[in-house]
Amino acid sequence: MHSKVSSPISRSKWILGYSLVELLVALFISTSMLTMMTKFTHTNITAREEGSLKTEVQLGLRALIAMITQELRQAGACLPLTGGAVALSGIDNGVQDSLTVRIGKVDPNTLICVQAAVSNAAAIGETSLTVDKTGGFRKGSLVYITPEGATGSYYFIDDVSGITLTLASGLTQELPKGAGVYAIEERIYTVDNATFGHPVLTVAIDGGSSQPLVDWVEEFDVRYYLGPCTLDGSGTLSCASTVSLPADISGWYSVDAVGIKATVRSHKADRNGNILRETTGETGQPGEYVTVKLRNFL
């Protein structure tokens, strides 16, 4: 019996392995697969980043509209039905307006409006008021004080002791016995372009410093619908007139609804260099402004 021994030539071929053509084919396949994987990964990352930016602007816009809508629907609550109390005011700054909303405070325990009546007449310049009750009034809070049926003024409370309210400034008008004292909250919404290096919707409560609410708010446009207003069968609001800002106090009393148009942009561009924006509606199209009916407004 003879054992079979490999020849030097066949052994050499076994040691050499793949041919050059086979290596080139393998390299081509590997490169193609790597290119496809890289492209897929890049597309996936881009889509995720764009989705994240889109979610960012959508949430920002929704938060803004929800917040302002809730405030407007409470405007004028617990304020006197007669006299010069104005629940709304504002400044027309083009597409970045300022909006002031005043809401009467409610005692969280009794759910009753925080109000009091002056027990003793007070002269101009006085800062101490004796009232029938002080429950719900707090130091640093804002109050509206008015003789019954007349235009009043706003003051800050410096101290509360017993049945005495001490004001931070003197009275600007005489108060008869029985004059009303109403605890209120005042919120001023403004777009700040300077403090944060980009446009931010801020709020100042009761004369305090402005606090950031929603980042990258490019547009906060407010318009006012003066009554009488009616709704047609499709739910479209039709009013006597629509203005960027009421001309005088009688105009403010005629406001029946408020429209808000807002645009929020992403804090950076996506990988394609696009800035993403979310708006309440396109110019001139239905739904451009979110309309809020003022349920509690005088």
**pLDDT tens across 17-56, in order?**
667 667 777 777 777 777 776 665 655 556 566 678 888 9
Indicate the average pLDDT of the chain: 86
In a domain, 15, yes or no: no
What 106-112 contacts at long range (C-beta under 8 Å, 24+ apart), as own/partner pairs, is 106/77, 106/78, 107/135, 107/136
For 189-214, the pLDDT digits (tens) are: 999 999 999 999 999 999 889 999 99
Domain contains 2: no
Q: Is residue 157 in a domain?
A: yes
Angle, CA 144 vertex, CA 190 and CA 124 arms, to 5°: 120
Please tell me the chain's helix, strand, coil percentages from 3-state DSSP, rounded to the nearest 5: 25, 35, 40
List, in order, residues 6 or more apart from 276 with CB less than 8 Å away: 50, 53, 54, 56, 57, 265, 266, 270
* Low-confidence winner among 77-86, 146-155, 167-176, 219-228 (lowest mean pLDDT): 77-86
More confidently predicted of 50 and 176? 176
Maximum Cα interatomic distance, the chain, rounded to a whole number of Å:
135
* 111-120, 147-156, 211-220: the lowest-pLDDT one: 147-156
Whether the CB-CB separation of 246 and 224 falls below 8 Å is answered with yes
18 lies in a domain? no
- The verdict on residue 173 lying in a domain is yes
Gap between the Cα atoms of 292 and 73, Å rounded: 7
Domain of residue 144 covers 51-293
Q: Which of 148-152, 192-196, 284-288, 290-294 has the highest mean pLDDT?
A: 192-196
Residue 217 lies in a domain: yes
- More confidently predicted of 164 and 239: 164
For the chain, the domain total comes to: 1
Query: Would 171 be classed as within a structural domain?
Result: yes
DSSP state of 245: S
User: Measuring CA to CA, which residue among 288, 289, 292 is closest to residue 256?
Assistant: 292
> What is the rounded distance in angstroms from the CA atom of residue 145 to the CA atom of residue 83?
10
Q: Is residue 69 part of a domain?
A: yes
CB 290 within 8 A of CB 238: no
ω before 228 within 30° of 0 (cis)?
yes
Q: Which long-range contacts (CB under 8 A, 24 or more apart) does 228-235 make?
A: 228/256, 229/256, 229/257
Measure the CA–CA gap between 177 and 200, rounded to whole angstroms. Answer: 45
